[in-house]
């Protein structure tokens, strides 16, 4: 495969649309297809409505639901909002307490934060170190005024499965509505909502080879009265989600569910084998932590943290791979994964995590390529790190040649987001050679590399060439990372302290 086309191992973020799904969708778009408004009573509209009902049955079959229990939405985020906000607000007269978990998707956590602004109280449970919400802790959090609990079935970052049967049973015996985000479970593990004590379940099409922009909320028969809509303006979807239905997206969703149900018995063991093969290859590096170890996990997700490696630098070096440092919706932030922090990982390990997610089109070749690429990059970054360790460089014996003496200076340190150490070979009042070690983001490493070239030939009095602000402008460092360049400057100032002036 060309280096310009990375191996795709980010199926938990989104999946490519299956060709059969795309073909079905195309039949609902143009004048020759079933494009009409399904709310219309003429023949074209009725044909579109029939396609939607067929898709509703396909989605229901994957979940073990009845077709009339499926409410179409724009995706799992809307389904989660409807399930959390809609239930809590509809039952506020009975109680204003909600239970969830610190490791939930933002599509659940943010609605919970909204409810807190509306006068609700929310208990956010912490998982065990393996990522599991213990039933005992869950039961202890339930109160007489609890009206809703929301716990996801499969965690989107670490792939851990929760015991929704046990948690839901605790709610049902107390008359508490139970919602579960199953976006990462549907089509990946067997799911029978009628066999589980769940009232509301959120799913989305784009996690199972359907189109983006469509999902569903399962609403258990008898639970509709516990739910109020978020939107108004039509009677579609049992008046719970009004608006003209997107026939092409819903039809694609249905076909994707039908394929997923058919492929699940073969796909789950295949992906489990690929996941374990990848883990075995990565674990040989040493200093590698499996996030979610000891808990049941979905077949296709592997989340790993690497010691002595900065996560952003690791990902930027894996140009031949499409992987994630966490949930896709959070990957743009420099903050460490809140899910991994909730598991007890320290900041550095949380920042150095990679989520590999395998899918329908993943192959053994992809796994082998990924394992080798990660091994090479981890070893390179560890050799560069001041933490040293296996493969670390030995600067102790380096003198730069020509009778020079070695001057060292560093700033930052273990446990901090940036740690830089410079090694200067100096002769008299002149820098003959400069090298560095760094644990930091790609901009930190790039700036330190450039500075080593600038330092050669400089005197002690003029050692530091410019300021962090000027370095940032020259090297294209974003303003939010200027603080990391201050650490680089501090390391150079430490060299000045260690470099005794000529007498």
Is the four-CA dihedral 395, 401, 406, 412 of positive or negative sign? negative
Nearest to 298 by CA among 320, 333, 272: 272
Distance CA 222, CA 107 (A): 25
Nearest to 467 by CA among 482, 480, 453: 482
Residue 329 designated active-site: yes
Catalytic residue selected from 112, 329, 441, 452: 329
8-state DSSP, 226? G
| Tokens representing residue 484 in the block | 């990391």
8-state DSSP, 393? -
Question: 123 near 100, Cβ under 8 Å?
Answer: yes
Q: Give the 3-state secondary structure of 290-336.
A: ECCCCCCECCCEEEEEECCCCHHHHHHHCCCEECECCCHHHCCCCCC
Tell me phi and psi for residue 462, to 5 degrees: -120, 35
- Cα 500 → chain centroid: 49
Q: DSSP strand E in 87-176: where?
A: 97-101, 121-125, 146-150
Question: 69 near 60, Cβ under 8 Å?
Answer: yes
What is the set of active-site residues? Answer: 329
């Amino acid at each position: 495969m060309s280096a310009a086309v990375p191996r795709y191992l980010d199926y938990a973020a989104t999946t490519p649309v299956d060709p059969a799904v795309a073909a079905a969708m195309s039949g609902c778009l143009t004048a020759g297809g079933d494009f009409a408004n399904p709310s219309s009573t003429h023949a074209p509209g009725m044909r579109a409505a029939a396609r939607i009902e067929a898709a509703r049955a396909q989605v229901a079959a994957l979940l073990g639901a009845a077709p009339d229990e499926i409410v179409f939405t724009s995706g799992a985020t809307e389904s989660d909002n409807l399930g959390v906000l809609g239930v809590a607000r509809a039952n506020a007269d009975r109680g204003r307490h909600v239970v969830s978990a610190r490791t939930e998707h933002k599509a659940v956590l943010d609605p919970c934060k909204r409810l807190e602004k509306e006068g609700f109280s929310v208990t956010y449970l912490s998982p065990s170190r393996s990522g599991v919400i213990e039933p005992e802790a869950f039961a202890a959090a339930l109160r007489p005024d609890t009206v809703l609990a929301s716990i996801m079935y499969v965690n989107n970052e670490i792939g851990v499965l929760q015991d929704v049967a046990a948690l839901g049973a605790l709610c049902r015996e107390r008359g508490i509505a139970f919602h579960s985000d199953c976006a990462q479970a549907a089509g990946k593990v067997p799911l029978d909502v009628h066999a589980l004590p769940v009232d509301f379940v959120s799913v989305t099409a784009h996690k199972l080879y359907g189109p983006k922009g469509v999902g569903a909320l399962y609403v258990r028969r008898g639970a509709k009265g516990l739910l109020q809509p978020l939107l108004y303006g039509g009677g579609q979807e049992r008046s719970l989600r009004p608006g003209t239905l997107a026939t092409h997206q819903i039809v694609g969703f249905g076909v994707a569910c039908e394929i997923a149900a058919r492929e699940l018995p073969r796909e789950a063991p295949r992906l489990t084998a690929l996941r374990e093969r990848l883990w075995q290859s990565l674990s040989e590096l040493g200093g590698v932590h499996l996030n979610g170890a000891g808990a049941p996990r979905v077949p296709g997700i592997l989340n790993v943290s690497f010691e002595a490696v900065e996560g952003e630098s690791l990902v930027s070096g894996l140009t031949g791979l499409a992987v994630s440092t966490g949930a896709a919706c959070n990957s743009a932030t420099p903050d460490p994964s809140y899910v991994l922090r909730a598991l007890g990982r320290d900041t550095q390990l949380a920042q150095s995590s990679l989520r590999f997610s395998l899918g329908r089109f993943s192959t053994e070749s992809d796994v082998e390529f990924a394992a080798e690429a990660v091994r090479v990059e981890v070893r390179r970054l560890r050799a560069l790190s001041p933490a040293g360790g296996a493969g670390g460089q030995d600067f102790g014996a380096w003198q730069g040649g020509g009778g020079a003496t070695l001057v060292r200076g560093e700033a930052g340190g273990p446990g901090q987001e940036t740690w830089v150490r410079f090694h200067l070979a100096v002769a008299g009042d002149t820098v003959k050679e400069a090298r560095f070690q760094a644990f930091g983001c790609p901009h930190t490493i790039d700036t330190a590399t450039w500075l080593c070239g600038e330092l050669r030939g400089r005197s002690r009095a003029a050692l530091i060439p410019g300021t962090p602000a000027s370095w940032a402008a020259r090297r294209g460092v974003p303003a939010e990372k200027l603080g990391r360049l201050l650490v680089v400057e501090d390391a150079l100032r430490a060299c000045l302290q260690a470099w005794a002036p000529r007498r």
